Amino acid sequence: MEKSKKYLILTYGCQMNVHESEKLAGILESNGYTHCTDATNADIVVFNTCAIRENAEEKIFGNIGELKNIKLAKPDMIIAVGGCMSQQKNYADEIMQKYPYVDIVFGTHNLADFDNFLKKRISTGKKVSEITEDETIALRDQMLISRTSGVNAWVNIMYGCNNFCTYCIVPYVRGREVSRPEQDILNEVKKLLSEGYKQITLLGQNVNSYKGIDENGNTVSFAKLLSDVDGFDGKYRVRFMTSHPKDLSSETIDVIAKSKHICHGIHLPVQSGSDKILKTMNRHYDIERYKKVVNEIREKIPDSELTTDIIVGFPGETEEDFEKTLEVMRFAKYMQIFGFNYSKRKGTPAEVMPNQVDYKTKQERLSRLLNLKNEIIYKKTAEMLGKTYEVLVESYDENKDLLFGSLDSGKTISFKGPKNCVGEFLNVRVKEVRKSVIYGEIADDLETLNLTEKTFKQPIQVSILPKDGSGMKILRQNKENKRLEDNEKSKAKNK
C-alpha cells in the first residue's frame, strides 16, 4: 500500500496569511496530502511568509536553514517558500541562492497557481521560481479551502493597498487595491453559514476602501457590503479587519449601529498621537479627525469597544510626540493595544529618513506605553466583574477542562462547561477578573438549549522539529530507511 503523503505549512504574520495558508492546505489536500505537525514527517513543507517586520524575516530565514539537514535525510521532500517576503524585489533569487535545497518560490499574486507549480516540480524534477506583478488575484479567488480557524471563517473582500504609509511594505508586496465582486462574497458567506460557521470575518488591508461591483455593474461601498452581509437569516457574527481612520465613513458606522450581526468591537489603528508623525507616516488624517471618528462611534454605538495599533520610535519622534500618543490612549480607552517598536523595511521611504530613534529610547518608550496600556485595560476589565455577556464559544481545552469564547468586543473569556457548547452562543457571567484575564460561569440553563456536538477544525500547532525532542532520532532513522530503500532498488535493477 502506498504511503500517504504529508504536508506541513508554517504560517507567519497576519490574518490574511492565516487564511491564505488555508487555501494552500486546500490545494495540497486536493493532491492527496494530509497534514502533519513537524517537518520530519512531511513530504512537502510550505513557508507562508511575512515581511512586515525585520525580525519576522530573520525568523523565517532561520527556519528555512533548519530544514537543510532534514532535506539531506529526506532528499525527495519538497520545500516551498511563498508569501510577502518572497514577493519583495530580488528576494526570490536570494532565497534560491542562499538555500539551494528550496524547490519552489512563489509570491502573493500567484498563490492560486501553486497547484501548477507543485505538479511541475513533481513531474519535471526542476525547481520553480515564479513571481508576478499581476494584481487580478481577486478575480481568481475560487480556490479550495481547508478551513482550520474553528467557528470563524475568513472571507477576503479585497486585496492590496493604495495608502503607501511610509513605514509599510504591504503596497509593494500586495499591490494596488483590487476588490472582489460583491456577489462572489455574498455567495461565499451564504455557503459558510449553511455549513454551520458562526462568525464571518471580512478581510482586507483596508476594508473601508472596498469598491466592488454588484451583478448590474454598480459600484458597491463597504457600508453597502456590510449591510448585505448582515442580511442573512440565523444567528451569527460579522467582524472585519482592518479599518483605516481616514476611510471609516459615517455611513459605515450607521450600518454597524443598526445591524443585527455586526460586532461592536472595532479595530482602528492610530499608529501615533502626533500630527507631525502622522504626516511623516503619510497616514492622511490628523488626531482631530481620529478623535471625531472615535466620538461618532461612541455616540452611535454606546457599547462599542476599540482596539488599535501603535508604532513607537518612528523616525523623528520626539518625547513630545510620544506624550501625545499616550494622551490619545487615555482619550480612546482601548480594550486592546498592539504596540511595536518601529522596524526598518527595505525599500520603504521611512528606511532612509533622518533622525532615526535609537533602540534604547524606543525600548524605554515602549515600556511606558505598555504600562499605560495595562493600566487602562486592567481598569476596563475590572468593571466587567459581575456582568453577563453573550459569548460565542470557540474551543474546548481538554487538558484544562475549560471552554474559551469571545465577547462581542472580541475579548476572550474562559469558563467551565461541556464540550458540546462549542459553536453555541451562551450568556456568561464574569465571576473573576485577574488583571486583563476574565473567567466566567454559564448563566443559561443548558438543559433547555438542546446542545449537539459540532465539529470545527481548530488551528494546528506545528513546528520544524517534534516538540518532544525526538527530531534527530527520526532524521537518522529516515536517512537509514532511505539508504536501505536505495539498496533494494539497486539490487532489483542489477537482477
**CA 78 – CA 86 distance, rounded (Å):** 17
Please state whether beta strands 199-203 and 152-156 pair in parallel, antiparallel, or not at all (unpaired): parallel
**CA 495 – CA 474 distance, rounded (Å):** 32
How does pLDDT run across 57-115, given as a tens digit for each residue?
A: 889 999 999 999 899 889 999 999 999 999 998 899 999 999 999 999 999 989 989 99
**CA 137 – CA 132 distance, rounded (Å):** 11
What mean pLDDT comes out for the span 468-478?
Answer: 60
The yes-or-no verdict on residue 476 having pLDDT over 70 is: no
For residue 138, what pLDDT band results from cuts at 50, 70 and 90?
low
CA 482 from chain center: how many Å?
38
Q: Are 311 and 167 in contact (CB under 8 A)?
A: yes
How high is the pLDDT of residue 143? 79
How high is the pLDDT of residue 454? 84
Share of the chain above pLDDT 90, in %: 82
The yes-or-no verdict on residue 455 having pLDDT over 90 is: no
Residues 388, 390, 392, 398, Cα dihedral to 10°: 20
The yes-or-no verdict on residue 152 having pLDDT over 80 is: yes
Helix, strand or coil, per DSSP, at residue 476: helix
Largest CA distance in the chain: 85
**CA 41 – CA 46 distance, rounded (Å):** 13
Return the minimum-mean-pLDDT range out of 329-343, 393-407, 444-458, 467-481.
Answer: 467-481
How high is the pLDDT of residue 474? 59
The yes-or-no verdict on residue 47 having pLDDT over 70 is: yes
118 vs 447, which has greater pLDDT? 118
The yes-or-no verdict on residue 139 having pLDDT over 60 is: yes
| Average pLDDT value for the chain | 93
370 vs 140, which has greater pLDDT? 370
112 vs 227, which has greater pLDDT? 227
The yes-or-no verdict on residue 193 having pLDDT over 90 is: yes
What mean pLDDT comes out for the span 298-310?
Answer: 98
**CA 38 – CA 463 distance, rounded (Å):** 5
**CA 253 – CA 246 distance, rounded (Å):** 13
Question: How crowded is the C-beta side of 147, counted as CA atoms within 13 Å?
Answer: 16
How high is the pLDDT of residue 480? 67
The yes-or-no verdict on residue 477 having pLDDT over 90 is: no
How high is the pLDDT of residue 1? 44
How high is the pLDDT of residue 236? 98
The yes-or-no verdict on residue 189 having pLDDT over 90 is: yes
What mean pLDDT comes out for the span 435-446?
Answer: 96
424 vs 56, which has greater pLDDT? 424
The yes-or-no verdict on residue 378 having pLDDT over 70 is: yes
Helix, strand or coil, per DSSP, at residue 78: strand
442 vs 142, which has greater pLDDT? 442
What mean pLDDT comes out for the span 335-346?
Answer: 95
Share of the chain above pLDDT 70, in %: 96
What mean pLDDT comes out for the span 396-416?
Answer: 96
Grid cell, residue 302, equals 454606546
